[in-house]
Amino acid sequence: MQNHPIPVLGFVAASGTGKTTLLAVLIPLLKNLGLRIGVIKHSHHNFQIDQPCKDSFRLRAAGASPVVLVSPHRRAVITEISPEREPCLDEELKQFEFAGLDLILVEGFKAEKYPKVELHRSVLAQPLLYPNDPDIIAVASDVMLPVPDYLPCLDLNQPELIAQFIFSTLLKLS
C-alpha cells in the first residue's frame, strides 16, 4: 500500500458484523468534520451495476469494456475483469480518482497490508483478527475486549467516537 496521495483506512470483520452499516453512519459524521470521503467496497458476489435491456448493459454485453455511463448527477465506470481474479486493493486504488478527497475508506480486503479497524460483534462468536494482523490499528466492538495497550478498543455502538478516532488518526496516516 504505497504511493497513494491520501490516507487509506479499512474496516474488516466477519460477514454480518455491520461493516456497511457502520460506514453509512461514519461517512456523514466524517463529512461534518470537513473530510471528503471516497469508498472502495470488496464484494465476493458477481454483482451487476447495470440492468438487462438498458443501453449500458447492451453495450457491455456486446463486448465493450470499460463502459462509462454519465449524467449531470453521476458517473459509473463498468469494467470487465478478464480473466476473472480476486481483486487486489493496490491495483483498485490505482483506478481511483484521488482529486478532491481527504480519505479513502475501504470495506474488506482483510488479507491485504494497509491500516485497518477490526469490527467485532460478540454475538457472532468469531475469532479476533488483530492477533494475526499487525495492520489492525484499532478494534471496534460491542463489548470491552482485553486488547493490548497499544491497540485502542472503540465502542462499536458509539460511531461519533469512532469518527473522532479516525479524524485524529488521519494525521498519523498522512
The pLDDT-based confidence of 130 (bands split at 50, 70, 90) is: very high
Query: Has this prediction a pTM greater than 0.85?
Result: yes
Q: Is the pLDDT of residue 1 over 50?
A: no
Q: Is the pLDDT of residue 133 over 60?
A: yes
Contact 5, 142 (CB under 8 A): no
The pLDDT-based confidence of 44 (bands split at 50, 70, 90) is: low
Over residues 11-34, the pLDDT tens digits come to: 999 999 999 999 999 999 999 999
- Total Cβ atoms within 10 A of residue 132: 8
Q: Domains in the chain, please, with CATH?
A: 8-42+87-173 (3.40.50.300), 46-86 (no CATH)
Q: Is the pLDDT of residue 112 over 80?
A: yes
Per-residue burial over 25-48, b if 16 or more Cβ lie within 10 Å, else e, is ebbebbeeeebebbebebeeeeee
Rounded to whole angstroms, how far apart are CA atoms 165 and 154? 9
pLDDT at position 144 is: 92
